[in-house]
């Protein structure tokens, strides 16, 4: 073998070795952070989840347990860590407080990633993408967002929905009134009682409240990306979760969970 070929072979071998060691180092860093070690030592992953969002995070009185796409993802994370899981019900108003006081390690509860929120909390890469929609009564005859001009829209307290609708209204020369309530079931009841003209939140959440008397307008806007959140000081947990999400997107695990709950993520620039 010529000297040139030997040099090329050695260079190739060195490149493979460096790549392998680099991958191993990344894996080790993700699993050996102080935050991950603390969870494994405690033997439990504490997770904040929604209890009133069918298909995402829902507490079933029939099974006396939590169910939904986000619940399944949380269980997979705990399984990967080799620990048990403990759920805490959260709302848009309480999810940040339970992270701040250390009651939970992570929150996975239809929590939209925004520039403002990422200043305070550490977010994973998106695990689901949706868009804002409107649930309306079929009897009212609404078919487009324009039909809701001047009407009262019900939104959840602490969510980004109201601000997004206001921005949309300004851009499209529309005006809306708003009622803000503490939970999705309250908003659905208000719609059925004709106290509001539309219940607005991300479309996939609305699917859990659709009935024979209501419909979701086909028109939607403002893509929303959901992330798994934790305190800024828990960046090691975020890095670990990002690694899992990357793996599950590649091997189809996330798609299987979406299919289980008849969920179809909206398209965005990050998943085109």
Overall average pLDDT of the 44-50 stretch = 98
Mean pLDDT over each residue of the chain, to the nearest integer = 88
Confidence class for position 262, pLDDT limits 50, 70, 90: confident
Are 230 and 122 in contact by the 8 Å Cβ rule? The answer is: yes
Q: Which two tokens stand for residue 185?
A: 């079931």
Name the pairing type of β-strands 128-137 and 198-202.
Answer: antiparallel
Overall average pLDDT of the 146-168 stretch = 94
* pLDDT of amino acid 208: 87
Residue ranges, comma separated, of all CATH 3.40.190.10 domains in the chain are 26-127+227-260, 132-223
Overall average pLDDT of the 174-192 stretch = 95
Q: What is the CATH number of domain 132-223?
A: 3.40.190.10
pLDDT at 128 over 70: yes
More confident residue, 256 or 29: 256
Overall average pLDDT of the 134-141 stretch = 97
* pLDDT of amino acid 224: 85
Helix (H) or strand (E) holding 17: helix 3-31
Task: For Cα atoms 154, 89, 65, give the angle at the middle one, nearest 5 degrees.
Answer: 110
**Three-state SS for 155?**
strand
Confidence class for position 191, pLDDT limits 50, 70, 90: very high
pLDDT at 11 over 90: no
Over pLDDT 70: what percentage of the chain?
87
| C-alpha distance from residue 107 to each of 151, 165, 222 (Å) | 34, 25, 22
Q: What is the CATH number of domain 26-127+227-260?
A: 3.40.190.10
Q: Which two tokens stand for residue 105?
A: 């390690």
């Amino acid at each position: 073998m010529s000297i040139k070929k030997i040099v090329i072979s050695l260079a190739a071998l060195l490149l493979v070795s460096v790549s392998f060691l680099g991958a191993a180092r990344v894996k080790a860093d993700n699993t050996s952070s102080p935050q991950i070690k603390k969870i494994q030592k405690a033997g439990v992953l504490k997770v904040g989840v929604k209890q009133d969002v069918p298909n995402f995070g829902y507490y079933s009185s029939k099974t006396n347990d939590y169910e939904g796409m986000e619940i399944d993802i949380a269980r997979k994370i705990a399984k990967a860590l080799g620990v048990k899981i403990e759920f805490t019900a959260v709302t848009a108003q309480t999810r940040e407080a339970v992270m701040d006081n250390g009651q939970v390690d992570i929150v996975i509860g239809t929590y939209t990633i925004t520039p403002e929120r990422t200043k305070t909390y550490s977010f994973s890469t998106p695990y689901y993408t949706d868009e804002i929609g409107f649930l309306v009564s079929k009897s009212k005859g609404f078919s487009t967002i324009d039909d809701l001009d001047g009407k009262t829209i019900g939104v959840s307290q602490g969510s980004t929905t109201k601000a997004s609708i206001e921005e949309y209204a300004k851009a499209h020369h529309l005006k809306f009134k708003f009622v803000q309530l503490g939970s999705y079931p309250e908003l659905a009841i208000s719609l059925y009682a004709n106290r509001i003209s539309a219940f607005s939140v991300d479309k996939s959440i609305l699917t859990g409240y659709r009935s024979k008397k209501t419909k979701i307008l086909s028109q939607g806007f403002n893509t929303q990306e959901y992330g798994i959140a934790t305190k800024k000081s828990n960046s090691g947990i975020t890095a670990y979760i990002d690694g899992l999400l990357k793996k599950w997107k590649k091997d189809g695990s996330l798609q299987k969970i979406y299919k289980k709950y008849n969920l179809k993520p909206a398209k965005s620039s990050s998943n085109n």
